[in-house]
Structure formats: C-alpha cells, structure tokens
Chains A and B, each alone.
Chain A
Amino acid sequence: MINIRRITIKNFRQYKNVDLKFNNKTGLNLFIGKNGMGKSNFLNAICWCLYEKQPFKFHEDEKKLLNEEASVKNKYDEVKVELEVGMDDKIFLFKRTKRESQQSTSIVMIKQDEDWVAVENPRIIINNFLPESVSKFFLFDGEAVQNLYRGNYAINLKDGVWCVSDVLLLDNALEHVESTYSEVKKRISKDDPKTENLDKIVNDLISEKSEIETKKLKNEEAHKKLTEQLNQLENKFKNYDKYREQQKIKNQLKEDIKEVGERLKEYQKQINDLVIEYAPFWFLKEELIETGKRINSIGIKGELPPKIKSTFIEELIEKKRCICGTIINKDDKAYKNLLALKNEVSPFSDRIFLIEDKVSINSLIKDLSQKIPEDITKIRFNRAKDRKNLDSLQTRLKEIEQSLIKAPEEEVGNIQSTINKTKEEIEKLLKEIGEQSFRIEQLKAEIKEKEEELNRLNRKKEGLKAENEKSNFLEEARDKIEFIRSKIIEQVRQSVSLNTDKYFKELIWKKDEFEKVSFTENYEVEVIKSGEKVSSLKILSTGEMKVLSFATIKALALLSGFNDMPLFIDGPLENLDKEVEVNFLKLLPSFIKNKQVFIFSLDKNAIIEFGKKNVNKENFYLLARENQYRSTVIKQFH
C-alpha cells in the first residue's frame, strides 16, 4: 500500500508555500478551485519533483518556475517540492529543489527512526514508487483523458499497453543487445575475410586441374601405346631397309634412263630434221655440182642476164625517166639507149633464176660437203656416247632388278604410311601433353597461391570465431527477448482489454446496453452494444467515451503493477453535460475505492455537492488567491 503522507510546495509557480498532510491512507481528497488557481500545476509540482517534468498545461504567464511573489522578493530563492510517501512500512521523502541559474537537485530520503537518510539510488526508489512511464495513468488531466480515444487511438492504446507491460527493462536489454550485436557484426564484417569467392576460385582451379590431369593421363597412355606400336612397326620396317635402298637406286636409274632416252630422242630428231631437209640435195649432189658448173660456164659466155633487171629498164621506159632520174622524151638519146638496153637484156630474161641459183648451189654444195656432215658427226658422237651410257644404265638396272629383294610393294607402303601416321599422332600427343603439363603447372602455382591466401584468411577467420559466437549468442538473445517481450505485451493487451471491459461495465450507467468492450490485436476497440458488434467509437457519447477512457486508464493502472498508487485527477468533470456529471459522480466512489485519490476540480455545484456528501471535511480543500501576487493558498473547504 502506498499513500501520500505530506506534500510540501515552496515557491513553485502559484504556490508560495503549501504544506499539506494527509491522514487518510485511502479515500478521496478533493480540491476545488477556479481556473488559474493552479490545479494543473499541483500535478506539475508532483511530476517536477519526481521526474523534473511538467506535463500538464499552464498559462503563459506562469512560465517562470519560481513563484512570482518569491521572485519579487528574492529571485534566487529556492523552489522546492517534497513528497512524503508511505510505502508499506517505510517512509520516503522525495525532494527536488532549484535555484535561478542552477540545475535542479533531487534527493530521496528514507526515514530511519526520526531521521531522514539519503538513499543511494534515488532512481530505483522513484521507480518503485511510480515510474515515469506509467505516471500518466495515475496523474492525469480529466479533460485530456478523453484524448486517449481521439484520432488514431490504437497508437495511444499500444503505447499504454507497452508502458504498463513493464517491458522497459526488456526494451533496454534489447536495445543494449541490439547495439552490442550491431557493434560485433560491424567488427566481424570489417575484419571477416570474404573467403567464399576464393573458395570457389580454388575449387574451380582444382576442378580444372583435375580435368586436365585426366586428359593428360589418357594422352600419356595413348602415347605409350602408340610408341610401342611405332617400335614394332619400325622393327618390321628395318627388314625392308635394303629393299628401300635398292628401290631408290632402281628409281634413280629409271630416272637417268629416261633422261638419256629423252636426249637420244632429241639427237635423233636433230639428225632426222637434217637428213630429211638435205636428203633430196644429197641424192642429187652430182646434179647440183654439174648445174653449178653449167651456170658458171654460161655466165662466162655472157649468156646470163645482166645484173640490171629487165623489169627495172622496162619501168624506166614506161615512166620516161633516165637512170639518173631525169625526165626524158622518146626522141632523147637516153630514151633510145634504154630501148637498146632492153633489147640487149631480154634474150636471157628467162634465165633470171640462174643468177641467184649460181650462188645458192655453191653454198649448198659447200654445206653438203662440209657443214652437214660435221653437224651430223657431232650429233652422232653425242648420240653414241649416250647410247653407251644408256646401255650401261640399263645393265645396272637389270642387275638391280634381279637382285631386288622380294618385298611386296604394297605392304612396305602401308607400313611406311602407318609409321608416318603414327609419328604424326605421337607428335600431336606430345604437343598436347606438353601444353597440358604447362597448364597443370600453371594451375598448381595458382592453386598454391590461392590456397595460401585462403589459409591466411581462414586463420584470420578463426581469430574471429569468438566474435562470431558472441554474435550468434546476441542474435539468439535478441530473438528470445523479442519473443518474451511480445508475449508479455500480448498478455498485457489481453488483460487490459478484459479489465477495460470490466471497469467500463462497472462505471457505465447504461449497463444494459453495453455487452462487451474489447481490444483487437491491432488495438482497435470493438463494442457490442445492444447485441450489435461495432468497431467505430462514434457510437459512444462524450460521457461514454470518458467512461471508456477512465476504464482503460484504470485497467492500465491496474496492469502497471502500481495499482495501490494514489491517483491524481485534474478536472474529471470537464466537458461533461450535467446528466453525465451526475452519473459519473455517482459511480466515482466505486471507481476510486481502496486507494488514495486526489481530485482537482472546478467549483461546479455538482462536485461541491458530491464533496460535501462523500468527502471528509479535512480532505476537502479550496484553492484560493492569497494576495496581489496571485499566489495560491490551499485551505479547508467550508
């Protein structure tokens, strides 16, 4: 059980000096005051004392914390709020003071015997009394309470549920875990070597190397086989070496014979050409000689035509020109001379051949006697030489052919061809093997390099093992905390929903109309009114909405774990019509039973009447102006 034993306010806004002692551990303490008397600032004073916050609205002219009267007298005077609180069997004093231009100071003391002793961890005590997060469910503005269900109220409800779920510790833990996790991850990410790509590269290289090695092995086997095959073939072919040698000689002889044969043919052709050309003259050599003599003889006799041809003389006569080119007449001596010359020449004109024949015959006879025989002799000599040569070549060829080993040409050819092919294949294989060996060496070097790099990185990775374990642990812890947190919040939501329904039904005067009020998982309110399920809150009147808000706040307060914490309500009847006010006030005692409640209200008749009937005189207060400085005093209501 918690109760407010005493509240002392000094120099806090309107309050110059307030010192209230409360003897009732439960029940209502009613404060009536007009606007501006400091009802909200009373709650602000309590919040300021506990949290150094002033969440309730105040007028612009109340900006200064220090009381106006005190400020006039001594602007450095102290502002002080003290709460003496009974918590179970202990008594604590929460005290906050502040002076102009200074930070406020807070102190929490515990009463030991008659002395006040400062506690070591004031924050813990404050949180045990009323944590700031849930304070809004114990100190609230009645006017503002309706705002809980205004606009996007789901956020407000969710926020409320979160506040009372007491998951702050979990949230703090989660935040801490998240932040540590993020730092660890960052460290890992910064230091953790990326080995995946390298792993893949190494694996690819190893795979390529293995593939090439397999191919190389196959090639080496093939090479071995072919080499054996080649050796066998070459051994076999050795037997044919002599044959090949003889074959070579034979072929050379054939070539030589062919060449000599060609030359002989040429000689024969030359001789034939000469023989056929000169044969007629050779047969008639005597007749040629005789004819030559005869022509010489008639030449000597002058029976050959002159060297001037008759045709030439005839042409001169026809054109009437002298031999010297001069034009002449028929009467001219020169013309007559030409006619005489023509007559002189004409008897031998048919012998014109003989002039040239005389020369030709001499030359021909000379050729037949000397040149042709010489040419023929020369060719015959060469021919005889080549004939001998040919005979010798043919003899040798014959000998070779006789001594030639009997070897089937086809077989030898096939072996030779197979040997050549095998050699080519072996060469090709050796080339491939060479290339493969080179590539394997390259790959080995690359693999070695990459593996060294990988090992280095793995060693580095090993060094990060602890960090990784830490990261995993943090991840697990985060998940677990989140799970627990969401579980708690969900449970609280369900409880708030159930209790809201309970309190709403307790408070609402139209009990018959409302069957159920509940929150969905999305914090939307569903109301079953007159047998109809409605999701919209528009069906609720202002008063019903206020009741719902109070019910929710009470449910939240209950779930906060501080249910026996005193309640401070500012203006519970604000914005309510008369009928609702009456109904609300009727239900108020049941709403606040078993706890200490402080209500600050305007001086409305309804509440005054209510106070007179339901509140002890010593717990019924009036807030009033004291002097020109607008300081408020709190006195018994009479």
Chain B
Amino acid sequence: MNKVDSKYPQFIRIDRKIKEKYLEPLISTPSSQFYKREQGEVYFIAAALGFKNKLRMKTEKNIDVRTYHGLNDQYKLLIRVIALSDTKYDYNLLSDGSKTLRILEECANGGMSLLYDKIFSKGGDFSLEDELFGDNQK
C-alpha cells in the first residue's frame, strides 16, 4: 500500500435504500445470476454499468459495502479508471480518496437499478454472459 492509498477511506459505500432495494435482492434471490455472490462483485458491476450509462445518483444515506483496503489491485485500478475518466483525467484527484470513492459510489448507486432491471425485468432470461460475449456459442 502506498502513502496515498493509505489515506483512502476505510470503506466503499452505497446508498442504504439502493442496497436494500436492489443489491440485497440481487444476491439473495435464487433466480438471480448473482445469487449468493459477494456484495462487492455486484457493486463493481453496477458501478461500471452506472458510469457507462451515465447513471449517477448521489447518496442520501450511505452504508458500508466492504472495506476499501481489502479490495484487490484490479478493483482499485477500476476505481481510478472511473474517477480519471469522470474528471477528464485529473490526476490530482487521485490523492483525494473521498472524492475518488464518491464518484464510484454515485455510479454504483445509479448502475444498481439498471443491473437489477436487467436481471429481473426480462423474466430471468438476461444473461451477463450473453451481454458480454453474445450467445452465438451457446
């Protein structure tokens, strides 16, 4: 861990309502592709979808999803990619952990409902696999 990284907040967070409304059903519903998966895994997919689809939502009342420092390097890289892309590559932002993670948090809040809709709105036919790799080789 470098000096800057150590100054990052201890937890990555999500809006409490978002968590209750989308995240929890996504990991606790047996028909969900994310059934019994970790919150963190779903959180980052939602954040990526949120950023990509410009779905941002500020947090009203946040709640911890997991520790920042327990994340692997790839997820930390993703956090910085999102933050840099969002700020048109303001590298100085990276020294401000709170700001960096807030961008991530807003994207996750925004992306979570989209992910939820994808998973549940099509009657369970949605497949992340097909979404990413197409279904020509099924």
Binding site for B on A (CB under 8 A): 271-272, 275-284, 287-288, 290-291, 294, 298, 311, 349-354, 356-357, 360-361, 364, 373, 376-377, 380-381, 383-384, 387
Of B13-21, B48-56, B60-68, which stretch is located at the interface? B48-56
Contact between A353 and B94 (Cβ–Cβ < 8 Å)? yes
Contact between A275 and B129 (Cβ–Cβ < 8 Å)? yes
Contact between B132 and A350 (Cβ–Cβ < 8 Å)? no
Question: Nearest Cβ in chain B — how far from A349, in angstroms?
Answer: 8
Contact between B48 and A352 (Cβ–Cβ < 8 Å)? no
Contact between A352 and B129 (Cβ–Cβ < 8 Å)? no
Q: A283-B52, A350-B95 are in contact. Are A384 and B138 (CB under 8 A)?
A: yes
Contact with A along B81-93 (1 / 0, CB 8 A): 1101100010110
Question: Nearest Cβ in chain B — how far from A631, in angstroms?
Answer: 160
If A280-B45, A291-B89, A364-B77 are given as contacts, then 9 extra A-B residue pairs at C-beta distance below 8 Å, sorted by A number, are: A275-B133, A276-B37, A277-B41, A280-B44, A283-B45, A287-B85, A349-B4, A361-B81, A383-B138
CA distance A381 to B78 in the complex (A): 30
Q: A276-B45, A364-B74 are in contact. Are A291 and B84 (CB under 8 A)?
A: yes
Contact between B77 and A284 (Cβ–Cβ < 8 Å)? no
Q: How many residues of B contact A (CB 8 A)?
A: 38
Q: A276-B41, A277-B41, A350-B92 are in contact. Are A356 and B73 (CB under 8 A)?
A: yes
Residues of A within 8 A of B85 (CB): 284, 287, 290-291
In this complex, what residue of A is CB-closest to B3? A311
Binding site for A on B (CB under 8 A): 2-5, 33-34, 37, 41-42, 44-45, 47-49, 51-52, 73-78, 80-82, 84-85, 89, 91-92, 94-95, 128-129, 132-133, 137-138
CA distance A410 to B47 in the complex (A): 58
Contact between B52 and A357 (Cβ–Cβ < 8 Å)? no
Contact between B91 and A298 (Cβ–Cβ < 8 Å)? yes
Residue among A284, A311, A381 making CB contact with B52, cutoff 8 Å: A284
Residue among B76, B82, B129, B137 making CB contact with A284, cutoff 8 Å: B82
Residues of B within 8 A of A387 (CB): 138
CA distance A284 to B44 in the complex (A): 11
CA distance A381 to B138 in the complex (A): 8
Residues of A within 8 A of B80 (CB): 291, 353, 357
CA distance A81 to B44 in the complex (A): 167
Q: Is the interface of A mostly helix, strand, loop or mixed?
A: helix
Q: A276-B34, A294-B84 are in contact. Are A284 and B51 (CB under 8 A)?
A: yes
Contact between B132 and A354 (Cβ–Cβ < 8 Å)? no
Contact between B2 and A353 (Cβ–Cβ < 8 Å)? yes
Residues of A within 8 A of B49 (CB): 283
Residue among A272, A283, A360 making CB contact with B33, cutoff 8 Å: A272
Residues of B within 8 A of A280 (CB): 44-45, 47-48, 75, 78
Contact between B138 and A380 (Cβ–Cβ < 8 Å)? yes
Contact between A352 and B133 (Cβ–Cβ < 8 Å)? no
Residue among B74, B91, B138 making CB contact with A354, cutoff 8 Å: B91
In this complex, what residue of A is CB-closest to B46? A280
Contact between A352 and B52 (Cβ–Cβ < 8 Å)? no
Contact between B132 and A352 (Cβ–Cβ < 8 Å)? no
Contact between B91 and A350 (Cβ–Cβ < 8 Å)? yes
Residues of A within 8 A of B4 (CB): 349-350, 352-353
Contact between B3 and A352 (Cβ–Cβ < 8 Å)? yes
CA distance A380 to B137 in the complex (A): 6
Contact between B2 and A357 (Cβ–Cβ < 8 Å)? no
Question: Nearest Cβ in chain A — how far from B46, in angstroms?
Answer: 9
Contact between B3 and A284 (Cβ–Cβ < 8 Å)? no
What 8 A-B pairs are tightest by C-beta distance, nearest first?
Answer: A350-B95, A280-B48, A283-B48, A280-B44, A380-B137, A287-B85, A279-B45, A291-B81
Residue among B48, B89, B129 making CB contact with A271, cutoff 8 Å: B129
Residues of B within 8 A of A278 (CB): 132
Contact between A284 and B78 (Cβ–Cβ < 8 Å)? yes
Contact between B95 and A287 (Cβ–Cβ < 8 Å)? no
Residues of B within 8 A of A351 (CB): 91, 94
In this complex, what residue of B is CB-closest to A361? B77
A sample of 30 inter-chain contacts (CB < 8 A) reads A275-B133, A276-B33, A276-B37, A276-B45, A280-B78, A281-B74, A283-B48, A284-B48, A284-B78, A284-B85, A287-B51, A287-B82, A290-B85, A291-B84, A291-B89, A294-B89, A311-B3, A352-B2, A353-B5, A353-B76, A353-B80, A353-B94, A354-B94, A356-B73, A357-B80, A360-B73, A373-B133, A380-B138, A381-B137, A383-B138
Question: Nearest Cβ in chain B — how far from A520, in angstroms?
Answer: 126
Question: Nearest Cβ in chain B — how far from A490, in angstroms?
Answer: 126
Residue among A284, A373, A384 making CB contact with B81, cutoff 8 Å: A284
In this complex, what residue of B is CB-closest to A367? B74
Residues of B within 8 A of A364 (CB): 74, 77
In this complex, what residue of A is CB-closest to B53? A283
Residue among A298, A352, A377 making CB contact with B137, cutoff 8 Å: A377
Residues of A within 8 A of B81 (CB): 284, 287-288, 291, 361
Residues of B within 8 A of A376 (CB): 129, 133
Contact between B137 and A275 (Cβ–Cβ < 8 Å)? no
CA distance A380 to B5 in the complex (A): 39
In this complex, what residue of A is CB-closest to B42? A276
Residues of B within 8 A of A291 (CB): 80-81, 84-85, 89
Question: Nearest Cβ in chain B — how far from A165, in angstroms?
Answer: 131
Question: Nearest Cβ in chain B — how far from A282, in angstroms?
Answer: 5
CA distance A247 to B40 in the complex (A): 48
Residues of B within 8 A of A272 (CB): 33, 128-129
Residues of A within 8 A of B137 (CB): 377, 380-381, 384
In this complex, what residue of B is CB-closest to A274? B129
CA distance A291 to B82 in the complex (A): 9
In this complex, what residue of A is CB-closest to B132? A282
Residues of B within 8 A of A281 (CB): 48, 74, 78
Residues of B within 8 A of A311 (CB): 3
Residues of B within 8 A of A283 (CB): 45, 48-49, 51-52
In this complex, what residue of A is CB-closest to B47? A280
